[in-house]
Amino acid sequence: MIINKQEIINDLKKLGLEKGDIVIVHSSLKSMGYVCGGAQTVIEALIEIVGKEGTIVMPSQSWKNLDPETGAHWEVNQEDWDYIRENWPVYDRDLTPTNTMGAIAEMFRKWPDSIRTTHPARSFCALGNKAQYITYKHDLSDIFGEESPLGRLYELNAKVLLIGVGYDKNTSLHLADVRAEYPGKHNCIEHSAVLENGKRVWKAYETLYVDGEDFVEIGNSFEKEYKVSISGIGDATCRLMNQRELVDFAVRWIEENRK
């Protein structure tokens, strides 16, 4: 199936995306079929809909900039882990590529006026009216919490758009991880290559341990109780929902079900 920008615009409007919306987008370009113009076309369609009053946010995580102990470098033998720690490139907001975020997010991080956060492994990019506010602070230890871009999206009553991906990719659920109380909740120490006082440092920082294993189950339960607009763009199944409703529901679900 071949689709163009106007068809994407029509489908997104049908889904419920509107002028002035603040929306975090998770996407798979491949799932849509043949998009005439590829990732550029999808981003242009999103920008045309939300307009100058709106804001688009995408995850631009570079999680390969994590310690091999986390499993981020599964293809490397353990005896080579120290080599990774000593040589992995320093995070650069303008240069460092995304890891498995998809072609749309990878192009979006390089889009003119797109602002990327400073987190070396879990960054977000934003473009539009509230981009500066959403990205201005992203503490090493507050990856997905209250002062992170996810917390600011919640404050701004944002929407979540899933294009051809499921709830396992729905990053906003990590904010619920932070807020919920559940057995086994604990912090961990992570490491990333950063520039500190002009020198490369393999930086240690403490943050909440999260894995998202039950996110699909949370999403399925959420759809039974709340309105989620479901439609298609090309071959992709797409979902649009309110982020506050999702996060608040997920906090309750986690506290009741996560053991």
As given in the structure block, the two tokens for residue 165 are 């991906």
CB atoms inside a 10 Å sphere around CB 111: 17
Residue 25 near residue 46, CB atoms below 8 Å: yes
> Does residue 259 surpass a pLDDT of 90?
no
Q: Look at residue 220 in the predicted model and tell me its pLDDT.
A: 98
Q: What is the mean pLDDT of residues 25-38?
A: 98
As given in the structure block, the two tokens for residue 225 are 């109780």
Q: What is the mean pLDDT of residues 163-185?
A: 97
Q: Look at residue 130 in the predicted model and tell me its pLDDT.
A: 98
State the angle between helix axes of 215-225 and 243-257 in degrees (0 to 180), rounded to the nearest 10.
120
Q: Kindly report, residue by residue over 221-257, the tens digit of the pLDDT.
A: 999 999 999 999 999 999 999 999 999 999 999 999 9
Question: Lowest-pLDDT range, 14-23, 124-133, 207-216?
Answer: 207-216
Contacts of 8 (CB under 8 A, 6+ apart): 35, 41, 42, 45, 233, 234
Q: Kindly report, residue by residue over 93-121, the tens digit of the pLDDT.
A: 999 999 999 999 999 999 999 999 999 99
CB atoms inside a 10 Å sphere around CB 35: 25
Q: Which of 234, 237, 236 is nearest to 31 (CA)?
A: 236
Band of residue 211 on the pLDDT scale cut at 50, 70, 90: confident
Q: Kindly report, residue by residue over 69-79, the tens digit of the pLDDT.
A: 999 999 999 99
> Does residue 1 surpass a pLDDT of 80?
no
Q: Distance between CA atoms of 9 and 11, rounded to whole angstroms?
A: 5
How far apart are the two ends of the chain, measured CA to CA in Å? 44
Q: What is the mean pLDDT of the chain?
A: 96
Q: Look at residue 82 in the predicted model and tell me its pLDDT.
A: 96
Residue 191 near residue 66, CB atoms below 8 Å: yes
CB atoms inside a 10 Å sphere around CB 141: 13
As given in the structure block, the two tokens for residue 199 are 């020198």
State the virtual CA torsion across 134, 139, 143, 148 in degrees, nearest 10. -20
Q: Distance between CA atoms of 94 and 87, rounded to whole angstroms?
A: 19
Q: Look at residue 235 in the predicted model and tell me its pLDDT.
A: 96
Q: Look at residue 225 in the predicted model and tell me its pLDDT.
A: 97
Q: Look at residue 223 in the predicted model and tell me its pLDDT.
A: 98
> Does residue 143 surpass a pLDDT of 80?
yes
Alpha-carbon Rg for the chain in angstroms: 18
